[in-house]
Structure 1
Amino acid sequence: MHTTACLFMLKPIVLTLTANDVFNLTKSSITYASRLPFHVEYGEKFNQYIYPIAVHNYVAVVAHSFATIAVDGLYYSLIQHACGMFSIIGNTLENIGKNNEENFDVKSIKVKDDNYSKTLHCLRRHIIVIEFAEHIESLFTKIFLMTLNLNMIVSSISGIQVLMNLDKGANDIIGPLTIYVAQLIHLFLHFWQGQFLLDYSVLPYESICRANWYYTSQRCRKLLLLMMYKTVIPCRITASKLMILSIDNFATVVKTSLSYLTVFRSMQ
């Protein structure tokens, strides 16, 4: 996002500074509108207040970049925290029963059953982490639905602009190409974090399978079965319950976006 914002702000500056050398233009022949990061409408007094308008344009680009990074940074941090908790629970469960011998007491006293105490603690923490993942999903699910639709549409339009300007100079391609690549990376990071949560949420199940559960008491095995039952359906992030954010679905979204691009291209 910062790279895209910098390119948007540098493009009109570079165009103005290198007009004589590269584009065989004078600075006076460059319109004021082309010296701004994006097109704006301020009426007849546009040229009179060009400098305050330019400051407003550049501040808007930076503010949009920082706002997007703040929201995405929160999303990434929450996902990684949930994955870390699943990893801690899985590591604890994997060591269940490793210190027991073959002649252990299956019906040992609950107070002296360390494996049972560890498993019970993991079960309680596992329930809390599942609820935490559900809160993440409910917080971002509607945002991702809008982001997904807008990314597919805008990336298709940016792709069309790139194809239309292939015969022109690089100045007309850099802008839409930057938007297209930035949106693709932005969308990939969202789906990538969703894939992280899918993979790590089933880690307790795999850890129980690798553990020496057969060296534990009956009450401990019942808790392990209960945890395995809770991990049958992994935690996931969805776009308004319509699409699960995963790498496989990201490939589907990219294919859909390219199909939109083909349709828009044929309508020219």
Structure 2
Amino acid sequence: MAVAIVSTFLAHRRTMDLFDNRYYKINKMLLRIIGRWPYQSPFEGRVFLTLLLILTGSQLIPQILGFIAVWGDMENFVECMCPFGTAATCATKLINIIYHDEEIKRLVTQMQRDWENVLPGPETEILQRYSERGRKYTMAFTIYLYIAVTVFILGPVLPTFFENSAVNETLSSRLPYIAEYFIDTEKYFYHILLHSYVCSMAFVTIIIANDAMFVVYLVHACGKFAVLGYRLSHMTEYCKFDENDHQSFKTDDQVYRHIANCVAVHKEAIQFADYIETSYSTSLLLEVGQCIVLMSVTGVQVLSNMDDPEKLSAYVSFIMGQLFHLFYSSWPSHELMDHSTKICDFIYDGEWHRISIRARKLLTLMMMRSLVPCKITAGKLYLMSMENFCSVLSTSMSYFTVLTSMQS
């Protein structure tokens, strides 16, 4: 019993050390803020999650009520859809990451094992290179989304601070989005405004924490396939080669064990990709759906507010945020497909002709499996890829055209 406790503690300690380095530190911090870091204390996780639920709930409920209040008013209804859709997406992502808590923990643990199992030298450098790529993706996504939401929520209200008091009679129209608080909006304008700002940042933090870690998992999966590819393309370098031996190796067992290990790593990489698919498939379906709808609706809002610079800047930033968000999920998913199918190329690059027939049979199994790419889907209905990313843009434009014709 004592040995098991010590082993668990040491494994936890190693995981903490890995995610405190420069590659994953931001992701760990964001997940801790929303109370979903797998290895934070249960008390801390519950406290942070409770505070987040209070914040998001206190904003989501007034938005739902505001959504109902403008039902039938086409212009205000369309204006409500963008922030409400974003809030609903955040709630979905939070529920998803809570529901798949065990799968998320399994992914984090597997990442730790991968770092422990790579050999010093080229293999470690490959994993570091991919981890650095994941860090840059996280930084870019975090900075861009916080800037986008800042522009969106500040755009409508900035004129309030520069115009005369006559304009203050319609302060409620300067709020970032329509919401029903059942209090005097004019009297408590700045209180409501501050509340909406804090809640908006909470919403965006949920999106960033969830999606940035999703991309880190994908990039790590690509790194696993890249390390495997290196082992296969340099298969003879991992074994003691004897030039005088007519079979090129002192023993067949040595190269066979190396190839068998590669088969196990290949299976592990595929399983890792499957865990990502299981954990995020449902939330991705809702994300893609709301992206199509909200980009179409926001496009209509852009045309309707061409003479209103404040609202125009807000909606343009919203569209750009949606585009970047979908691209951010699609690009690494497409990369995973490419990496998983390159195993055949790596095998061809290796000196497979110098190994025994018995070892070649194992390579054949890997080649056959690599013909089926690892895929990340949205609810098993939509394949996350760059091709489908372009299809979503096309579909959004079609709906935008329909909505514009209806409005006119």
TM-score (norm 1): 0.90
SS in 2 for 1:267: helix
Q: Is 1:186 matched up with 2:325?
A: yes
Percent of aligned positions with the same letter in both sequences? 32
Residue number in structure 2 paired with 1:200: 339
Of structures 1 and 2, the one with the larger relative CO (CA 8 A, separation 6+) is 1
* Partner residue in 2 for 1:94: 233
Is the contact made by 1:156 and 1:260 (CA closer than 8 Å) also made in structure 2?
Answer: yes
SS of 1:47's equivalent in the other structure is coil
Per the TM alignment, residue 226 of structure 1 is displaced from its structure 2 partner at its CA by 0.9
Q: Distance in 1 between matches of 2:357 and 2:224?
A: 26
CA contact (8 A) 2:242 2:249 kept: no
Equivalent residue for 1:29, pick from 167, 172, 176: 167
1:235 alignment counterpart: 374
Deviation at 1:155, TM superposition (A): 0.4
The aligned amino acid for 1:48 is K
Q: How far apart, CA to CA, are the structure 2 residues paired with 1:53 and 1:239?
A: 36
In the alignment, is the contact (CA less than 8 A) between 1:101 and 1:215 conserved in 2?
no
Give CA deviations for 1:149-170 in whole Å, capped at 9, x if unaligned: 100001000001111222x132
1:47-86 equivalences under 5 Å are 47-86=186-225
Paired residues of 1:108 and 1:217 also in contact (CA < 8 A):
no
- 1:18 equivalent to 2:18? Answer no
Cα 1:146–1:64 change in 2 (3 A) is: same
Q: Secondary structure at the match of 2:218?
A: helix
Shift of 1:62: 0.5
| CA-atom RMSD in angstroms | 1.9
Q: Mark the CA change 1:242 to 1:102 in structure 2 (over 3 Å): closer, same or farther.
A: farther
| Greater Cα shift, 55-64 or 94-103 | 94-103
Name which of 253, 263, 268 aligns with 1:128.
268
Q: How many residues align?
A: 259
CA distance, structure 2, for counterparts of residue 247 and residue 178 of structure 1 = 22
Q: Which runs of 5+ in 2 are unaligned?
A: 1-144
Q: Is the 8 A contact 2:376 2:383 kept in 1?
A: yes
Match of 1:104 among 246, 250, 267: 246
| Aligned position for 1:152 | 292
Inter-partner Cα distance in structure 2 for 1:60 and 1:79: 29
Tell me, yes or no, if the aligned pair for 2:333 and 2:375 is still in contact at 8 Å.
yes
Q: Distance in 2 between matches of 1:102 and 1:221?
A: 21
- Amino acid in structure 1 at the alignment position of 2:390: A
Structure with more of its chain in helix, by fraction? 2
Indicate conservation of the 8 Å contact 1:107/1:217, yes or no: no
User: Residue 139 in 1 paired to residue 279 in 2?
Assistant: yes
Residue type of the alignment partner of 2:391: T
Alpha-carbon distance between aligned partners in 2 of 1:160 and 1:103, rounded to the nearest angstrom: 74
Match of 2:150 in 1: 6
Distance change in 2, residues 1:221/1:55 (3 Å)? same
Q: How many Å separate the matches in 2 of 1:185 and 1:72?
A: 12
Larger radius of gyration: 1
Q: Structure 2: how far apart are the matches of 1:34 and 1:95?
A: 65
Q: Distance in 1 between matches of 2:242 and 2:299?
A: 62
Task: Name the TM-score, length of structure 2 as normaliser.
Answer: 0.60
Choose the corresponding residue for 2:259, options 119, 125, 132.
119
Distance 1:187 1:4, change over 3 A: same
d(CA) in 1 for partners of 2:316, 2:229: 43
**Corresponding residue SS for 2:378:** coil
Check conservation: 2:300, 2:400, Cα contact below 8 A: yes
